[in-house]
């Protein structure tokens, strides 16, 4: 195993669990201010976008933030599901609710 070859081990396995609907909103709603590079979301940060000091007209979307990209990524998660099922049998495997705020997420 490559880990042994480099005298490494896996201490922790983390799986972020987020419903597909939330992932879709996070990706489709993502916008970035072209002036200051602040990233916000049209679904979750509507007021912040409207009141942004640079002006909401500077918010742009990435070309790959679309439903087609989401579907290709979602299909990828389905193909990796057997690996996740295998890893979930380890005592160092932890599922984390990825819908929580960053400061609320812990292992």
Domain interval for residue 107:
1-28+65-107
Residues 39 and 31: beta-carbon distance below 8 Å: yes
Mean pLDDT confidence for 16-34? 93
pLDDT at 73 over 80: no
99 and 86 share one domain: yes
Give tens-digit pLDDT for 36-67.
Answer: 999 999 999 999 999 999 999 999 999 999 88
pTM of this prediction? 0.73
Q: For the chain, give the number of residues.
A: 107
Which has more confidence, 54 or 78? 54
Q: Specify the DSSP class assigned to residue 104.
A: G
1 and 11 share one domain: yes
75 and 94 share one domain: yes
Residues 24 and 67: beta-carbon distance below 8 Å: yes
Give the whole-angstrom CA distance, residue 74 versus residue 92: 25
- The total of structural domains in the chain comes to 2
Which has more confidence, 95 or 2? 95
Phi, psi of 47, deg, nearest 5: -65, -40
Q: Report percent pLDDT > 70 for the chain.
A: 97
Please enumerate in sequence order all residues whose Cβ is within 8 A of that of 48, keeping only pairs 6 or more positions apart, or say none.
Answer: 40
């Amino acid at each position: 195993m490559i880990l042994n070859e480099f005298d490494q081990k896996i201490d922790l396995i983390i799986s972020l669990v987020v419903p597909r609907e939330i992932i879709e909103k996070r990706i489709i709603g993502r916008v970035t201010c072209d002036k200051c590079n602040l990233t916000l979301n049209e679904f979750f940060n509507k007021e912040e976008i409207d009141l942004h000091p640079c002006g909401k007209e500077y918010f742009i979307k990435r070309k790959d933030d679309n439903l087609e990209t989401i579907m290709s990524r979602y299909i990828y998660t389905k193909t990796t599901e057997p690996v996740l099922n295998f890893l979930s049998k380890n005592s160092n495997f932890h599922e984390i609710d990825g819908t929580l705020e960053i400061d609320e997420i812990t292992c």
